Structure 1
Amino acid sequence: MMTPAAGSRSRSLVAAGRKPQRTCLGCRETFDQHCLIRFVPAPDGTLLVDYRRKLPGRGAYVCARRQCLLQAAAKSGFSRSFKRELRVEGQQLLARVAEQQRQAIDNLIGMARKAGQGVGGSNLVLGELQRGSDIALVLLAKDVSAGIGDKVRRAAGNRPVRQPDWLDKSRLGVLCGRAERSVLALRSGPIAEKLLYEFSRYDQIAGDC
């Protein structure tokens, strides 16, 4: 649990307009807390990934980078931080972090649909791109046809196009409230910005998608 002194320092930083900072267990550099991934220990000695920073108790922080996570696991950084023996294996930790990142991205896609910030379907997306609409990001299902994928990429120009390896047409359809969806475009706005940010973090853990 956060100590009274630590809690007081965090509140003072926020009141002063400064963001709380934490040190990465891997590289030992200091960053704004929201830029790092939080971990908390479970009673059974396992380590929990608190990606949304909602779990109670004292946390430890690591950069959203493969090397930092592997270093923290290999050098017993979590056990030292929590002053107790924790079972941490580097590759398993990477996999668990990547899974929570995928969930975060899926949730944002669902939020975009509910907020009316998504344009679905290859024809509609191509039309929006060709008209120069304010599209910030285009998503392609991993099993989209090569022809459609090529058309969308050409029409997108310099706009980012992502093809996540876990999103097939069926899964993307579920997130969009449809049976299937092969193409989805996100209009510029806070949700699209957050999606681009989460994709960049995912790249650091799991590699390009």
Structure 2
Amino acid sequence: MAHYTVALTGGIASGKSEVERRFRALGLHVADADIAAREVVAPGTPGLAEVVQAFGPGALGPDGTMDRAAMRRRVFADEAARRRLEAIIHPRVRAALRAACEAAPGPYAIAAIPLFAEAGAEAYAPWVDRVLVVDVPVEVQLERLLRRDGIDEALAWRMIRAQATRGERLAVADDVIVNDVPLEALDAEVASLHRRYLLTSGAKPGQP
């Protein structure tokens, strides 16, 4: 069981998934908040029932799952609705991530938490030991988000501004990867951090 956890965070379209992928390739267990967020509102869960109770049947798609695209448009146009949805999902996600990291094999685990800064470090203080922020300029976020999601610029800006600012994320960082470089440059940075985390977590030489 892992006894050391690193929170991996960053703004939308900062390239967290590329960093996460590299930690996985090194044999690390990664508990992903985006995956957990889907699981806690899967059909038949108390989480989805609470979403429907709060937002009505329009929150569901034809297949009975939460209509994530429709809900995204809804909550990014209405701050009160966004906070209501977050109050349903986020506590369940935090509990799932903690359980996954504590049960993970290896000397340390990665918890990929996009909204770490928004929740506040104190929400994770009991079990997160270090925070790694993937950082890019806001202009890079916007360009990547438009290209990735095929949305209009107005929605893209609402999504960016709904998150913590770049400065707020950096304020909670123990380590920072500036991800406005070619992807291959990430390999060396992640490998260096991995060696540091192995030492910090007390891993013995030869452990993954």
TM range (shorter): under 0.3
For normalisation by structure 1, the TM-score amounts to 0.25
Bigger relative contact order (CA 8 A; separation at least 6): 2
Of structures 1 and 2, the larger Rg is shown by 1
For normalisation by structure 2, the TM-score amounts to 0.25
Which structure carries more strand by proportion?
A: 1
